Amino acid sequence: MILIVDDKQANLFSLKTLLQLNVYDVDTASSGEEALKKILKNEYELIILDVQMPGMDGYEVAEIITGYSKSKDIPIIFLSAVNIDKRFITKGYTSGGVDYVTKPFDPDLLLLKIKTFSKLYRQAKELSDIKDNLEQKVEKRTEELKQANKNLEVSNAELQQYAFIASHDLQEPLRKIITFTRIIEERFLEKTPAAMEYMSKIITSSERMRTLINDLLNYSSISVDPKFIFTDLTKIVNQALVDLEVSISEKNARIEVDDLPVIEVVPEQITQVFQNIVSNALKFSKKDVTPFIKISGELVQKKSAKSKPSATGEYCRITITDNGIGFDEMYLDKIFSMFQRLHGKSEYKGTGIGLSITKKIIENHNGLITAKSKEEEGSTFIIILPVNQTAEHQTS
Amino acid sequence: MTKSLSFLLVDDDTDDTSLFKEVLEEVNPSISFNWAEDGQQALQFLKDQDSILPDVIFLDLNMPRMGGKECLTEIKNDEKLHKIPVIMYTTSSQSRDIEETMQKGAICFITKPTNMKELKNILSSIAGNVHSNLEKTLRLLSNNTTTFIVC
């Protein structure tokens, strides 16, 4: 609908007739005040505004119209017989008009202008409606995603708790199976070696299951809200090596540890990381070669395995190299996934959880872990950890 | 003549309790054995004027009504009881359980052995050294056994 504002009824009538003949919906107002009231109430696609009016003049009306958020985009064409100077025309434009037509005007040209401006307005409005609609949809989707994410976090935490409780409760009956099997073996089966052998198989399997449950427990109890402390990694490695003392001396292994940096970590978790990797290196050593493991570390520029060393770097690269049996790098992803084993149980012990725990810990530390290896030529594990966890949290 | 020893086992598991009692009798029949099936009962026993205080308390973690951690806190906060050495005796070998109970004042954390010879070995070491370097004995023991012991 088009609104014509003019204080002279004759002008209103002639313009209204002209537009109606050209099939436009038309409304009229005979003063600025009346026009503003109507604009607030109705939807218009174009306003034709007389400049010279008693009370509010056209410029004032235009300024108010462009001030309302509802009407600010409605095109205004000024119409004037008196104020035809350049300065009046300029004022018309600055007060919010899109055109300034002086009387007498050519009706055909005015109609063309009206057609153009109302078409432009309709298109702009359609676009903005589409945009609003899209924005609403995006907002709705974002909200839905946020909710879904929250639900996921909750069910994840529940699952973790469940895994912890389940594996904890599994320990109890299993321990009894082992205990009582041993008692039967010791007290009643001394003279029946065949039965003893079956009992030993029960014990071996139960022990294996026990290790499995223990590893699962460790995996599910890796704290979600850990306490980071600046720690000398050399001390952590030494602690891990003390815990592995028995297997190190059994294998007669030689271990070399360089000076490692001090970085912000959860000490118990990183101790476990070194324990897992070193015990893997011992486990997968070559049968007739003295195991040699070298642990070194340096500060680097970026969170990338190949990053350049830098004394002021914000990341720490730890490299653990062994001379063991190695593995084919096509299995690189597999070695870090839960329960994946590259070797038969009889060849090498283990549950296949160790490295997935390691990976989870490193990820909790906002770091990354990868490995390089060739079959029969040893393995190198590379860990990148941020030196400073608080800074990492702020940027991520 | 030295006063005979007294052990208190706090554990809701009757299988474990009877094995413990059996092995303890093999080690030394003169050691008096007391049993409480949860933390509440243990505290009741310990605070009873007529009870003879035990020389060592073996404390399980997961028990109904009052678990081992809460019971340990109560014992360590009690003027009369806090000096009695408490040994955690449980299925768990979780680091957070170990850290928490050691921090609360347990002298040692033993994961229940599955081998009766091991249990016998542990109980006889403890019985022989209750009043002389118990902690040192346990530390030595932890290095020479397949049972999971943390001191």
Beta carbons within 10 angstroms of residue A168's beta carbon: 20
- How many residue pairs from chains A and B have C-beta atoms closer than 8 A? 29
Domain residues of chain A, as ranges? 2-105, 147-218, 225-395
pLDDT value, residue A357: 87
**CATH, range A225-395:** 3.30.565.10
Of A175, A176, A217, the CB nearest to B94: A217
The CA distance from A210 to the nearest CA of chain B, in Å, is 11
CB contact under 8 A, B91 and A221: no
Q: Is A271 exposed, middle or buried (0-12, 13-18, 19+ CB in 10 A)?
A: buried
pLDDT in the model for residue B110: 94
pLDDT tens-digit map of A82-117 = 878 888 889 999 998 999 998 888 989 999 999 999
Are B112 and A178 inside 8 Å of each other by CB? no
pLDDT of residue A242: 86
ipTM of the complex as predicted: 0.78
Q: Report domain extents, chain B.
A: 6-150
The predicted structure's pLDDT at residue A391: 57
The whole-number pLDDT of residue A395 equals: 45
pLDDT range class, residue B130, cuts 50, 70, 90: confident
**Which of residues B116 and A160 earns the better pLDDT score?**
B116
User: Does residue B1 have a pLDDT over 50?
Assistant: no
Give yes or no for residue B143 having a pLDDT over 50: yes
Determine, for residues B114 and A182 on separate chains, whether the beta-carbon distance falls below 8 Å: yes
Report pLDDT for A163.
Answer: 77
Spell out, as residue ranges, where chain A has pLDDT lower than 70. 223-225, 338-339, 344-351, 391-396
How many Å apart are CA A276 and CA B143, to the nearest integer? 21
Q: What is the pLDDT of residue A396?
A: 42
Question: For residue B2, what pLDDT band results from cuts at 50, 70 and 90?
Answer: low
The domain defined by B6-150 carries CATH number 3.30.465.10: no
Q: Which CATH fold would you assign to the domain A2-105?
A: Rossmann fold (3.40.50)
Closest CB from A171, A176, A178 relative to B15 = A176
Question: Would you say residue B67 has pLDDT above 80?
Answer: yes
Class of domain A147-218: mainly alpha
Own/partner pairs for A208-215, CB < 8 Å, 24+ apart? A208/A345, A208/A351, A209/A174, A210/A171, A210/A174, A210/A175, A210/A178, A211/A351, A212/A351, A212/A353, A213/A167, A213/A170, A213/A171, A213/A174, A214/A167, A214/A171, A214/B93, A215/A351, A215/A353, A215/A354, A215/A357
